[in-house]
Amino acid sequence: MNSIDEKLQPILAEVVRRNAGEPEFHQAVHEVLESLGRVVAKHPHYLDHALIERICEPERQIIFRIPWVDDKGQVQINRGFRVQFNSALGPYKGGMRFHPSVNVGIIKFLGFEQTFKNALTGMPIGGGKGGSDFDPKGRSDAEIMRFCQSLMTELHRHLGEQTDVPAGDIGVGGREIGYMFGQYKRLNNRFEAGVFTGKALAYGGSRARTEATGYGNTYFVQAMLETKGTSFDGKKVVVSGSGNVAIYTIEKVQSYGGKIIACSDSSGYVVDENEIDLDLLKDIKNVRRERISEYARRRGQGAHFIAADKGSIWDVPCDVAMPSATQNELSGKDAATLIRNGVIAVGEGANMPSTPEAIKAFQDAGVMFAPGKAANAGGVATSALEMQQNASRDSWTFDQTEARLATIMRGIHDSCYQTAEEYGAPGNYVLGANVAGFVRVAEAMRMLGVI
């Protein structure tokens, strides 16, 4: 890891002490503090009134029991979380994740990242995140519904369109949002469309929300490539994952002339030298909900599957890498392989998918690197557009919404780029994103007094 300014070191030490056993949260705070040395050197007033310490402490953390009955009549118990991290810029805003790896440290890291990401969008939204250690794999539709209803029976009292607005994340798509919103509506006896985003169009969703994170990451990387006079056209691209973010990244990159040659899920990855067939991938993942090995089986010649324990998707030579599955999925060793194979740009679709060692390796090698908190902000930005449509009881066309998304992503790119220049680190998007996001949140907090 890079070093942290000595004035900021005690802040990290205190975060580590008070949040023992939460390595992902420590990692996320470390990365931001690393960037803030240049800020406090220029503007020492940010060290006053424990402002940075307060930004590192969530405003509220809710942990609760989720009892539910499975299809065999057995009672199951999961744990639910909602970390309401920062509301200086607007209501808490961030997705819900259902995955067995979820714990309070993971949700805290995601909520912390979300705070800066949301600030970068320029929209009036604070930062939050939630989820459960529930594993949706293999569960029936009825089980998913009972689980979502039980979760919301507890969580509803902490939400509200002016208070806290959840959305989807890993394991939470349109179906789960429908069940949670339905239960919220029932318990509150109020149709409060703006309390959830990622809703289906039928009851207040926004066009382009499903596509927004993947499309947004593609716009960001395209803008980054343009700064070096190049583009996606004709480039070989590897996208990890095959969920919401990955699929719409593939769609947009292909429309820009990029050639996607590999994607994955947690069981392994597929390589298709003829280019990934997106219709086939969507059928396997979104319709049949099958494993990625099915892709190679159905595609036939030119495509093959490699199991997760037999290799890494980052062994596949490419010009652009777009990690879009989960945190810490791209290690320092993977980065070294990508660099050796000639990668020129990396755009993080997932949250914190690259380890600190990987980020350092990319930066040292001069690889253009777009951090998730900037590059994947298109999802939450479009969620904020969904809230706007709900507030005005309006519904925009796909083209209108996508045009707003494209403008927002260009704005985020330019703000990161210019901030990096202003703070003496040209081309360092990690620093640009951390500093631009931090300054927006910190300025609002300063004006609101000691909160």
Which residues make up the interface to ligand NDP (CB under 6 A)?
Answer: 168-171, 213, 241-246, 265-267, 324-326, 329, 349-351, 376, 379
CB 200 within 8 Å of CB 191: no
Is residue 77 within 8 A of residue 67, CB to CB? The reply is: yes
- Which residue lies nearer to ligand NDP by CB, 4 or 384? 384
User: Is 311 assigned a ligand-binding role in the annotation?
Assistant: no
Query: Binding site annotation covers 114?
Result: yes
CA-to-CA separations, 45 to 10, 41, 86, 214, 439, in angstroms, rounded: 17, 9, 20, 38, 12
Is 42 a known ligand-binding residue? no
Ligand-binding site membership of 244 (annotated): yes
Q: At closest approach, how far in Å is the CB of 100 from ligand NDP?
A: 9
**168 is an annotated ligand-binding site residue:** yes
Please say which residue, 52 or 402, places its beta carbon nearer to ligand NDP: 402
Looking at the Cβ atoms of 38 and 404, the one nearer to ligand NDP is: 404
Min dist. Cβ of residue 214 to ligand NDP (A): 8
Q: How far is Cα 444 from Cα 440, in angstroms, rounded to an integer?
A: 6
Nearest residue (CB) to ligand NDP, 242 versus 390: 242
Determine whether the annotation assigns residue 213 to a binding site.
yes
Residue 93 annotated as part of some ligand binding site: yes
Q: Which of 357, 356, 313, 374 is nearest to 338 (CA)?
A: 313
**Whole-number minimum distance, CB 211 to ligand NDP, in Å?**
10
Smallest gap from residue 281 Cβ to ligand NDP (A): 10
Residue with Cβ nearer ligand NDP (150 or 293): 293
Give the residue numbers annotated as catalytic, written as ranges.
129
What is the closest distance, in whole angstroms, from the C-beta atom of residue 6 to ligand NDP in the complex?
32
Residue nearest to ligand NDP (CB): 243
CA distances from 200 to 14, 182, 274, 338 (A): 43, 12, 34, 38
Min separation Cβ 288 and ligand NDP, Å: 13
Nearer to ligand NDP, 194 or 243 (CB): 243
Binding site, annotated residues for substrate:
93, 114, 117, 168, 383
The annotation places the binding site at: 93, 114, 117, 168, 213, 244, 383
